[in-house]
Structure 1
Amino acid sequence: MTTEIPKKPSDPLPTEFFMAPGDNPYDGYAEVRRTCPVRRVDYPADSEAYVVADYRTVAETFGNHTVAKSVEHAPDWFREALKESSPILIKNMLTSDPPVHTRLRKLVSKAFVPRRMELLRPRIQEIADDLIDEMPERGVVDLFHDFALQIPMKVICRFLGIPVEDREQLHQWGLVLSGAPYTDEESNRRLKEVSEAVEVYLTDLLGTRRADLGEDLVSVILRAADADDAYTDEELVSTLILLIIAGHKTTANLIGNGTQALLRHPDQLTLLRDRPELVDTAVEEFLRYEGPVYRAPPRYAAEDVTVGGVDIPCRSFVHLLINSANRDPEVFEDPDRLDITRKPNRHLSFGHSIHFCPGAPLSRVEGQVAFTTLLRRLPGLALAVPENELEWRYDNSASRGLERLPITYDRRLPRTAPAAGGNGGSDA
């Protein structure tokens, strides 16, 4: 399904273009890039809002501080809705601008350096193999829920020092928080309940960890906070919420989206199976081709501003369409072709400039381990349903992934030493 694009560039794009474009949004993205790459959109409904669809303008806007991330620049109704239903969500680096962003980013930047993430590779490998061991010898498996989602959730729980038995509760809370703010009163009531529950849980975790600091990420964050004496507990809790949500949903989508892309392109599947050393460039291509985050978090015009030649009024929403930029033919040769050997690959799936995702090194290692392990241990991997039956999910956390990924395979091979490939830290 492809959303119909209004013929007049002056007409706003419909809500479904933004929030429910279906299994193939790329034809619509191409039409918008061709006709008017900065264009009004009806999302949120009845608001002054714009999408940015071409690579050059998206990349430039990432660094344009007059298009701000802080909700203080959002329309009054939106800002008040967030503060009322989930105030803890808006006190981390994802919803801030310099110098606040710079200060909050310091809490996690040192923890996610590639060298430190590479040390996690053996544990990630163990988790991936354990999950495949739990699969039947043959049959149909939902690879998204039984593998793609489980790897990053278990890893982030371990990295944060959170009990593994709490991961399902955290995942369910994350699903509710991802939709903030909602358009109906009942959903916002539930959002407020979940926000309060998460805040209590993480505040207790901070208190417990302060009494017995270890080597986990929560302890790293607490040491950094205590050293600078410049952070509130609300900021610490909000940062942990961001890490939990972003730390598992996006990587789960990377693994799920990338696997379905491989299964739809048998030549690339065979190439990666035969040459697992290509996994580094393959992961970058999956991030570009079917990005796990289809747009950047919302931005707001802090003043009247011109973006891509279009005048945007103060307090307008500005949405950067990452997955559209990643298919821009002005930057990527034959952009609608999956090519796991593609170089260079300057995709924007991890953001850009000062807003480049600090968790990128961890996500890359998890993806490298996941794909090499799947192809090594599950020969005959194939979709268990027709391609057109795969259902895509979009939400307010800006993620794009599959609801389910039913797969089959010929047999399940035993654990062996990992194949060569994957340096865990190369930049896109």
Structure 2
Amino acid sequence: MTTTETPDTLRRILDYSSRADPYPLYAELRKTPVARQEDGSYVISTWREITDILHNPHLSSDTRNLSHPTAGAEERTTPAFINLDPPEHDRLRRMAMRHFGPPHTPGLVTGMEPALTGIVGGLIDDFAGKEQIDLVDDFAYPFPVTVICHLLGVPREDEPRFHLWVNDIIDLIDYNPETDPKEKLDNGIQAREDLRHYIGGLVEQRHGRPGDDLLSRLANDDGPDGRMTDEEIVATANLLLIAGHETTVNLITNGMLTLLRHPQVLQRLRDQPDLVVPLTEELLRYEPPVHIVPWRAAYSDITVADTVIPKGSRIMLMLASGSRDPNRFHDPDRFDPDRRDNRHLGFGSGIHLCFGGPLARREAQIALTELVRRVDRPRLVADPPPYRRSPVLRGPIHLHIEQDGD
């Protein structure tokens, strides 16, 4: 397969004007599954090729293996395990997983269900008497933030502080030195340092004080792999704090937007609450919270779809495009909660499969079920709604909904 350059298509996808509907551009991109860009990087856009490369041991998630590191991608201290390769990735992920899910804490998510339902119910109670709500500010953001703060042991009242840092860090993910002001880069790097310092202070307070929160467990527990260093705990906590709410905000908001655009499915969910399980999987395929893995690196020359990608090349994986690939999914642009064999890329694949996927799924399932059950005749105020700037973590920044009053 001959590799051709498609810089204009990628540029249009990354441009904010395409944020509301990038899917036609993804279809255009899939005509060349592995496309070399002008800067020597490669964009991969089809399901088979993305899946193959996510399972390829010659692919690195460590930006230090890039021939030309992306501005803002360099970590000045210990990276989170999502940006490391085996065996270090496997060791750190295993140590974190001891306290976050099976096999060591298999009942974590299911044990939280009453609390999750209670948080959702309280937020929906606050809708009473309002003719219009912002689903993001009034619901989809405070819900997962409250949950992840509780899990980590981060004071909920500190949310206004780290909210600003998280926004600047996310802006750093897709920083483009050719089009973005240097202030964006500087703000992101400073925010990363500020968040590390803040979490580091919390970790210091936990030493010698065992507790049920994740920071306490990581700071005091010696498992088969030993104990994380403070720097490793901070890097892991930063990852979980950011990923633990940002992706879930998008999943819930994209989900409610999709249901309001498909009123028959919304009514089915109201009548058949068990539909929420396959429906959430279809949302992860159809309107995923993460659209792009912005960088991977090749350890050595690798061949993908008959295209040789040189060692050290930057590789961009278009996950949302792969989940709409007609060679893998029948009628991929149709939202179908009854879809079978739905092996989407909504949470990635391979060794970096989303660490918090089980929790995010359950949060979305409870949130959507209760919203549909309790909000009276919800209607979109604007379609499309305003979107976040980021093409990587794609979702509405606001979603205004009208409801009938009491």
TM-score, structure 1 as length reference:
0.86
**Contact map agreement 2:109 2:358 (CA 8 A) in 1:** yes
Q: Which residue of 1 aligns with 2:93?
A: 105
> CA 1:394–1:112 in structure 2 vs 1: closer, same or farther (change >3 Å)?
farther
> CA 1:234–1:107 in structure 2 vs 1: closer, same or farther (change >3 Å)?
same
**Contact map agreement 1:295 1:320 (CA 8 A) in 2:** yes
Q: Which residue of 1 aligns with 2:346?
A: 349
In structure 1, the residue corresponding to 2:172 is in which secondary structure? coil
**CA offsets, 1:288-316, max 9 Å, x none?**
11000002251012222221221222222
Overall identity of the aligned pairs, in %? 36
Q: Which residue of 2 aligns with 1:37?
A: 33
**CA offsets, 1:271-329, max 9 Å, x none?**
11111111111111111110000022510122222212212222221111111111112
In structure 1, the residue corresponding to 2:293 is in which secondary structure? coil
**Contact map agreement 1:58 1:325 (CA 8 A) in 2:** yes
Q: Which residue of 2 aligns with 1:91?
A: 79
2:402 to 392, 397, 408: 408
Give 1:131's aligned amino acid: L
> CA 1:411–1:41 in structure 2 vs 1: closer, same or farther (change >3 Å)?
farther
Give 1:54's aligned amino acid: T
Q: C-alpha root-mean-square deviation of aligned residues, in Å?
A: 2.1
1:178 and 2:174 aligned: no
Give 1:395's aligned amino acid: S
Q: Tell me, in whole angstroms, the C-alpha distance in 2 between the residues paired with 1:296 and 1:217.
A: 27
1:133 and 2:93 aligned: no
Q: Tell me, in whole angstroms, the C-alpha distance in 2 between the residues paired with 1:107 and 1:123.
A: 25
**CA offsets, 1:166-192, max 9 Å, x none?**
122222211111122643432333233
Q: Which residue of 2 aligns with 1:17?
A: 13
In structure 1, the residue corresponding to 2:308 is in which secondary structure? strand
Q: Tell me, in whole angstroms, the C-alpha distance in 1 between the residues paired with 2:113 and 2:345.
A: 24
2:292 to 288, 295, 302: 295
Give 1:127's aligned amino acid: I
Give 2:341's aligned amino acid: P
1:265 to 256, 262, 266: 262
Gaps of at least 5 residues in structure 2 are none
Superposed, 1:24-173 pairs within 5 Å as 24-33=21-30, 35-41=31-37, 47-78=39-70, 81-83=72-74, 87-88=76-77, 91-110=79-98, 111-113=100-102, 115-173=107-165
Q: Tell me, in whole angstroms, the C-alpha distance in 1 between the residues paired with 2:12 and 2:375.
A: 37
What number of residue pairs does the alignment pair up?
393
In structure 2, the residue corresponding to 1:319 is in which secondary structure? strand
In structure 1, the residue corresponding to 2:120 is in which secondary structure? helix
Q: Tell me, in whole angstroms, the C-alpha distance in 2 between the residues paired with 1:225 and 1:284.
A: 36
**Contact map agreement 2:207 2:216 (CA 8 A) in 1:** yes
**1:100 Cα offset (Å):** 1.1
In structure 2, the residue corresponding to 1:39 is in which secondary structure? strand
**1:394 Cα offset (Å):** 4.5
**1:223 Cα offset (Å):** 4.0
Q: Tell me, in whole angstroms, the C-alpha distance in 2 between the residues paired with 1:200 and 1:373.
A: 37
> CA 1:112–1:309 in structure 2 vs 1: closer, same or farther (change >3 Å)?
same
Q: Which residue of 2 aligns with 1:399?
A: 393
Q: Tell me, in whole angstroms, the C-alpha distance in 2 between the residues paired with 1:198 and 1:308.
A: 41
**1:120 Cα offset (Å):** 0.7
Q: Tell me, in whole angstroms, the C-alpha distance in 2 between the residues paired with 1:15 and 1:262.
A: 30
In structure 1, the residue corresponding to 2:330 is in which secondary structure? coil
**1:224 Cα offset (Å):** 4.6
**Contact map agreement 1:19 1:395 (CA 8 A) in 2:** no
In structure 2, the residue corresponding to 1:379 is in which secondary structure? coil
**1:19 Cα offset (Å):** 5.1
**CA offsets, 1:252-286, max 9 Å, x none?**
00000011001011111111111111111111111
